[in-house]
Structure 1
């Protein structure tokens, strides 16, 4: 059963973590046609492009966790229209997800697509918008900051947290051209709970294996070398927030 909530402000929220499996492009076509049949064309188009990118067999997408999460139906999606500029409703969706994310599966993420805006087209503009979204979301967070997460970004262990849940955040934009792993056809932000990475780090066999796969795919997928900020959380010389938005295209 697919649970769909269409909000008054016309933001479509789709919970994918209910056992929906999208392993083939044909599955994607059937899924979005049924789910989005009454939605705006931009939402249908962005979801379709996203799924086609992640499920490509000829050009494997580097984020293997995201690909597996999509195939297993463990991702959650929301679509934010241009009319929603204060992101209060987005905060509500992310709040619900933060409370229930552990029920989705180990490869879960929350993916927010923003309606294309012709007035924003440069990396600098997208970067400013990205941090504005995080700042506004933080303003709606009514839970205490996690005790084990520093409160200042200068600390190497700082990371964005929401509703008491530390999260790794990734922004994709149309302005990222050469770094195709960060390209999207619209402004898009993905939130991954920190617990997803509990056994994925440089000290675990699984972590090193995933890192090898991701880096191998990055070399063939992107037209530039992997970004020097790509490090494990807590690794010496690492500030995870520098991975949120890459200022080099």
Structure 2
């Protein structure tokens, strides 16, 4: 069974991890808690520093085992996420072998990301929440697991332009939707946070923000488009998650 870990545990037990796991975690720590405080995701940085984040490790994302491990981690995480702190997130590091590092493009990782979400969703024993639209084109759609809606985020070794989406290995993070209750476009705090994040993002990446980036609840927003951003401004025309099987609520 996959195991969830807190920063406080990993900081004291990294020697017990496999080499790739230890390197992935240390790379993440140095990235998100850099001395210059340049990392653009303010809630993510704060969550890391206050031990709100939870971490998991999974095998090569090309394997069926990767989806099973991700599903297992999500199943464990959902019930306890609210007890971890107001800046909660689940970060999953995937073993990224040398052949994948050398050959995979941004588009290849994009396909892996959506395959992973689809395959993990098929293992979900819970029905799709009635409060979340089933159409990814709806501005309130979100990926769900165990009845919990999440914002998903992916970073890869192939990203060479958008620094905020670059990581030495394949990484997927899941942020519970409830985290954004105060961080949205309808509150002064949320609007101010949006400005701060957008400014830091432009400084960090050195290029304008991807046109797909919006704010949850905006009528022209589509969350799925923000899960995986390419290095350029291009984007898929249709959400690949629709190819997966979604359990509908009873009676539908």
Measured against the shorter chain, the TM-score band is 0.7 to 0.9
What does the per-residue CA deviation read over 1:99-155, in whole Å, with 9 as the maximum and x for residues that have no partner?
110000110100000011333320111000000110011001111111111112222
Deviations 1:209-246 (A, max 9, x none): 21111111112100321111111112021111000001
State the distance in 2 between where 1:195 and 1:92 align: 21
- Which residue in 2 is equivalent to 1:122? 105
Correspondence list, 1:172-191, <5 A:
172-191=155-174
1:166 to 149, 153, 166: 149
The partner residue of 1:103 within 73, 79, 83 is 83
Unaligned runs of 5+ in 1: 1-6, 21-30
Is residue 68 from structure 1 mapped to residue 51 from structure 2 by the alignment? no
Would you say the 8 A contact 2:4–2:77 is kept in 1?
no
Query: How is 1:140-159 mapped onto 2 (pairs within 5 angstroms)?
Result: 140-159=123-142
* Shift, 1:174, TM fit: 0.9
Pairing 1:82–2:60 present: yes
Asked whether 1:133 is paired with 2:116, we answer: yes
Q: Following superposition of structure 1 onto structure 2, how do residues 44-63 of structure 1 map, counting pairs within 5 Å?
A: 44-58=22-36, 60-63=38-41
Task: Work out the number of aligned pairs and report it.
Answer: 227
CA contact (8 A) 1:59 1:221 kept: no
Normalising to structure 2: TM-score of the pair?
0.85
Deviation sequence 1:169-223 (CA, Å, 0-9, x none): 0000111111101111100000000000011111211101211111111121003
Equivalent in the alignment of 1:34: 12
- The match for 1:28 is none
Q: Distance in 1 between matches of 2:172 and 2:193?
A: 22
1:43 aligned partner: 21
Contact 2:185 2:216 (8 Å CA) reproduced: no
Residue 32 of structure 1 and its aligned partner are, at CA, apart by 4.3
Question: RMSD over aligned Cα, in angstroms?
Answer: 1.7
Residue 212 of structure 1 pairs with residue 195 of structure 2 = yes
Matches of 2:98 and 2:219, distance apart in 1 = 40
CA distance in 1: counterparts of 2:132 and 2:10, whole angstroms: 38
**Structure 1 residue 59, shift from structure 2 partner:** 5.4
Structure with the larger helix share: 2
Q: Secondary structure at the match of 1:36?
A: helix
User: 2: CA distance between counterparts of 1:198 and 1:12?
Assistant: 28
Q: Is the 8 Å Cα contact of residues 32 and 48 (structure 1) preserved in structure 2?
A: no
- State the partner residue of 1:14: 5
